[in-house]
Amino acid sequence: MRSAIKRELIGASEKFKAVMEQVDLVAPADCSVLIQGETGTGKEVIARALHGRSRRSNGPFVTLNCAAIPAGLLESELFGHERGAFTGALSQTMGRFQLAHNGTLFLDEIGDLPVELQPKLLRALQEQEFERLGSTQTIRVDVRIVAATNQNLEQMVNERRFRTDLYYRLNVFPIVLPPLRERIEDIPFLVHHFVQEFSRRMNKTIDEIPEHVIDMLCLHDWPGNIRELQNLIERAVVMTEGRILRPPMIERPTSPSGNSSKPVRTLADAERIHITETLRKTNWVVGGRSGAAAQLGLPRTTLIARMRKLGISREALKPTPIWCGSRQAEGMRFEDGRRALARAAAV
């Protein structure tokens, strides 16, 4: 997440709790950790949580995105260089390893590390020592490594694009972050958090979020995960003029799945048609006593999950993007975490 937004650990789903249990378990162990997950799942936030819960919490937390630095400069960024080591090296410079002494070095996008640089990184990990570019003097450090990637490193090892020994040295304790679509119970909490943060930044007062907006956000697949949700809420706050959050516009691909005139060929087709017809009768209201979930005899979260799996959404039936609801729609007040979670799981 961007530095302007507080890096908080937000969630109450079982998958989120499982991740936090792993964080609490490994944080004091001081071993290398490999965080894996799709883009936008909050890998740096978890890395900072590991640092903050470790004995190194009073030391520096240094980050390096291996994909953001040109390959020719990455060695200097990691290990530093002496004056005159290469053209443009006008002074001695410390690298990230030395800057992270007695702290944590977070190597993001580790899968993009050039193969020719991997042996030197392996030595620095194993021996906790290295030499700056242009120097023969060995520098010893005490650094914990936390690496992250959205790539399949095991497959890259098999394809000889990533060293086997470096992979195992980094993968002492793996943490796999679930995508947002697998932790929809956390969406109300995240929406609440982002609305508060962006409202504060923009000097606005927004204290009401329409419930149907939360429902529609829970139906989205979120290929960009938490980062996509954050950007969407920021746009919604920018466009909101009153105290009620203006519904964000979500572009959804047109899907033929909602066409009830299509012949029923599978059980999934029949279920899709039945759910769609029920939603139309309730004017696409999911929760509540007269909502589609109650009429179908399903918990609200179960119906939302089925709708997502079957590709059912109000927007999918229309050729162009639409607003998730009207600004005048009946909404919900901000609530504390327990009440928000209870409503998300209400039948």
Specify whether 245 is located in the same domain as 284: yes
Specify whether 154 is located in the same domain as 208: no
Q: What is the pLDDT of residue 324?
A: 36
Q: How far is CA 77 from the centre of its chain?
A: 26
Residue 18 has pLDDT above 70, yes or no: yes
| CA dihedral of residues 337, 338, 344, 347 (deg, nearest 10) | -170
Is the CB of residue 24 less than 8 Å from the CB of residue 43? no
Specify whether 143 is located in the same domain as 246: no
Let me know if residue 5 belongs to a domain: no
Specify whether 23 is located in the same domain as 111: yes
pLDDT 10s digits, 270-284: 677 778 878 878 888
Residues in Cβ contact with 19 at an 8 Å cutoff, skipping those fewer than 6 apart:
46, 175, 177, 178
Nearest alpha carbon to residue 95 among 67, 127, 129, 119: 129
Specify whether 133 is located in the same domain as 266: no
Q: What is the pLDDT of residue 7?
A: 59
Structure-model confidence comparison of residues 6 and 10, the more confident one: 10
Q: What is the pLDDT of residue 296?
A: 83
User: Which ranges constitute the DSSP H helices of the chain?
Assistant: 14-26, 43-52, 71-79, 96-99, 118-127, 153-158, 164-170, 187-201, 211-219, 225-239, 267-281, 292-296, 300-310, 337-344
Structure-model confidence comparison of residues 314 and 184, the more confident one: 184
Q: Which tokens in the block code for residue 277?
A: 């017809």
Angle 14-26/43-52 helices, nearest 10 degrees? Answer: 40
Mean pLDDT for 279-305 is 84
Structure-model confidence comparison of residues 192 and 292, the more confident one: 192
CATH number at residue 132: 3.40.50.300
Q: What is the pLDDT of residue 315?
A: 62
The 10 Å Cβ neighbour count of residue 136 is 7
Specify whether 195 is located in the same domain as 263: yes
pLDDT 10s digits, 192-212: 999 999 999 999 999 899 888
Mean pLDDT for 88-112 is 93
Residue 226 has pLDDT above 90, yes or no: yes
Is the CB of residue 102 less than 8 Å from the CB of residue 142? yes
Is the CB of residue 106 less than 8 Å from the CB of residue 61? yes
| Residue range of the domain that includes 171 | 14-178
Mean pLDDT for 169-187 is 95
pLDDT 10s digits, 45-67: 999 999 999 999 999 999 999 99
Specify whether 167 is located in the same domain as 19: yes
Structural domain tally of the chain?
2
- Mean pLDDT of the chain, nearest integer: 83
Helix (H, G, I), strand (E, B) or coil at 43: helix
Mean pLDDT for 8-21 is 92
Q: Which of 156, 178, 200 is the last residue of a domain?
A: 178
Task: Give bridge partners of residue 145 from the DSSP assignment.
Answer: 105
Residue 246 has pLDDT above 90, yes or no: no
Q: What is the pLDDT of residue 238?
A: 94
Q: What is the pLDDT of residue 306?
A: 83
Q: How far is CA 41 from the centre of its chain?
A: 2
Q: What is the pLDDT of residue 276?
A: 82
The 10 Å Cβ neighbour count of residue 46 is 24
Structure-model confidence comparison of residues 138 and 90, the more confident one: 138
Specify whether 283 is located in the same domain as 331: yes
Q: What is the pLDDT of residue 4?
A: 38
